[in-house]
Amino acid sequence: MGQVEKSTATDISASAASMPYAIDCQQVSKIFTRSRKNGYSSLKSLFIGKQPEMSAQNELVALKELTMRVPKGASCGVIGRNGSGKSTLLKLITGIYRPTSGSIAVNGRIAALIELGAGFHPDFTGRENLSLSAVMLGLTNKEIAERYDDIVDFAELSGVMDQPVRTYSSGMFMRLGFSIAVHTEPDVLLIDEVLSVGDVGFVKRCQDRLAELKRRGTTMLIVSHDLAGIERWSDEVIWIHKGCVKDRGEPRRVIDAYRMFVERDEIELQAKLQMRHKDPYSEQRWGSREVEIVSVTCAPLLTPNTPLSVRAEYVAHDAKALEGIVFGFAISNHEGGVVCGTNTQMLQQPAGSLSKSHVSSRHTTDTSGEISKRFCTIDIDRCSLLPGKYGVEVSCHRADGYPYDHRRCVVTFVVEGPQIIVGAYSPAISFGFSDLSDSLSDAPSDGGAQQ
């Protein structure tokens, strides 16, 4: 295993002070072991002699050979799904954890907003915890005295600083921790999902304080699931997936790629859940089957601007049933509601009267000549659906509504793309602008005015 550089701690080493990066992580891996070295995972298993099998399942790889450099003064957002290794990375940078392998170098004083109030002693007063925390963050007693009033006023706790923090509410507890961290004037600030502590007024002060630190050149590494906040505060974004850097770059591009990835991931998860539980996309089918819909196919992945084409293969077990037959089509959403639907009768596009001899001469038949296969296609020039998952419904019936075969949610498809429109569907929309002079030029002259 590789050795961790001394600059991993909050103290600045001589080598870290001269490096061009505020944070430099090289081939960093972190593996957590889930069982004891002797193979027994608990005291009970030790006594009863039930020893678990030692395998890779007893190890959790939180980070895997991750390399990341953050320039001085940069504000970098870190995104990724739960369990991807984001919080572990911050704890490695602060020195709470040590890497299993690789090296981490940090240039400057670190303040970490990872677990606000972590390290507070419940029986110590707010004043005592403030002094203790500030010393641990690198402040001298003189600096603590100079900033004490600012820290207390920022947290709005002037009346309770001599009370034990165990008497504080969770909001008071978190406000004190945040205020201490942002008043240490750190060179590197690590933030993990703590940008929404307190009420609206306190959140505004927090944001103003972070903006001030950013203007001063403080390097920030921000972990959050609030993608809008990440885009606002970050100069660039790092996307971590399964302990590795999956993408990095301009915030909007990386965030959009991450959103699409999460959406596809959720669709795959829902597909797995369908195998266990009945959902709105489970197929329902009924009808007499004189005409049978054998199969239905369509493209599984679309965008709002691409065409949608559905192909249904059907078999006529009774050729007379083809006379005046009506084919229907519909699309339903995740709630089972019909987004759109129509049939050949409503569109006045009859399938036609197809005699058995006519069909048999053009399509495959069985040895008796009684069964014939044919295809019905439904084409939509532009999908025009918002991103999401949809079910396809295809039916055939007599003109009076008697059902031959009705298959609801026989296949599904997914529409992908950025969420640029809200509502039920995605038409092509454009905005036009004009000024008063344009409107006047289009108005009739006096001679053409009505009397």
CATH number for the domain including 68?
A: 3.40.50.300
**Is there a domain that residue 217 lies in?**
yes
CATH number assigned to the domain comprising residue 374: 2.70.50.60
* Residue that has been written with the tokens 């020195």 in this structure: 95
Determine, yes or no, domain membership for 31: yes
Q: Is 165 in the same domain as 314?
A: no
Assess whether 215 and 317 both reside in one domain.
no
In a domain, 107, yes or no: yes
Q: Are residues 95 and 132 in the same domain?
A: yes
What pLDDT score does 94 carry? 85
Residue 33 pLDDT: 80
Do residues 75 and 233 touch, judged by C-beta distance below 8 A? yes
Beta bridge partners of 62: none
Residue 47 falls inside a structural domain? no
Return the pLDDT at 446. 54
In which domain, by residue range, is 189 found?
Answer: 6-37+57-266
Q: 343 lies in a domain?
A: yes
Query: How far is the C-alpha of 227 from the C-alpha of 255, rounded, in Å?
Result: 7
Q: 245 and 307: one domain?
A: no
Together in a domain, 13 and 80 = yes
What pLDDT is recorded for position 49?
53
Question: What is the arrangement of strands in the sheet containing 21-33, beginning at the earlier edge strand?
Answer: 59-71, 21-33, 101-106
Based on the fold, state whether residues 180 and 300 are members of the same structural domain: no
Q: Could you identify the residue written with the tokens 């709630």?
A: 335
75 and 224 share one domain: yes
Question: Among 334, 306, 303, which Cα is nearest to 418's?
Answer: 303
Please tell me the total number of residues recorded for the chain in this structure.
Answer: 451
Within this chain, do residues 27 and 170 fall inside the same structural domain, yes or no? yes
| Distance of alpha carbon 386 from alpha carbon 358, whole angstroms | 42
pLDDT at 395: 92
* Residue 445 confidence (pLDDT): 56
Same-domain check for residues 355 and 250: no
Tell me if 259 is assigned to some domain: yes
**Going residue by residue through the chain (451 aa), what tens digit of pLDDT does each one get?**
333 333 333 333 334 444 578 999 999 999 988 655 555 445 545 555 544 444 455 778 889 999 989 999 899 999 999 888 888 898 899 888 899 999 999 988 888 777 665 668 888 999 998 998 888 877 888 989 999 999 999 888 988 999 998 898 877 888 888 888 888 888 888 888 766 666 677 778 888 888 888 888 889 998 888 888 888 888 999 999 998 999 999 999 999 889 888 887 777 777 666 555 556 677 788 888 889 999 999 999 998 888 999 999 999 888 888 888 999 999 988 777 888 999 998 888 887 544 343 333 334 444 444 455 788 889 998 888 888 899 999 999 988 888 899 998 899 999 988 877 777 777 777 788 887 666 566 655 555 444 4
| Shared-domain flag, residues 230 and 298 | no
How many domains are contained in the chain? Answer: 2
SS3 sequence, the chain?
CCCCCHHHCCCCCHHHHCCCEEEEEEEEEEEEECCCCCCCCCHHHHHHCCCCCCCHHHEEEEEEEEEEEEECCCEEEEECCCCCCHHHHHHHHHCCCCCCEEEEEECCCEEEECCCCCCCCCCCEHHHHHHHHHHHCCCCHHHHHHHHHHHHHHHCCCCCCCCEHHHCCHHHHHHHHHHHHHCCCCCEEEEECCCCCCCHHHHHHHHHHHHHHHHCCCEEEEECCCHHHHHHHCCEEEEEECCEEEEEECHHHHHHHHHHHHHHHHHHHHHHHHCCCCCCCCCEEECCCCEEEEEEEECCEECCCCCEEEEEEEEECCHHHHCCCEEEEEEECCCCCEEEEEECCCCCCCCCCCCHHHHHHHCCECCCCCCEEEEEEEEECCCCECCEEEEEEEEEECCCCCEEEEEEEEEEEEECCCCCCCCCECCCCCCCCCCHHHHHHHCCCHHHCCC
255 and 342 housed in the same domain: no
Confidence at residue 392, expressed as pLDDT on a 0 to 100 scale: 93
Q: Are residues 360 and 226 in the same domain?
A: no
Q: Is 229 inside any structural domain?
A: yes
List the one residue out of 378, 381, 382 whose CA is nearest residue 410: 378
Residue 104's Cβ-count burial label (10 Å; 0-12, 13-18, 19+) is buried
Residue 392 lies in a domain: yes
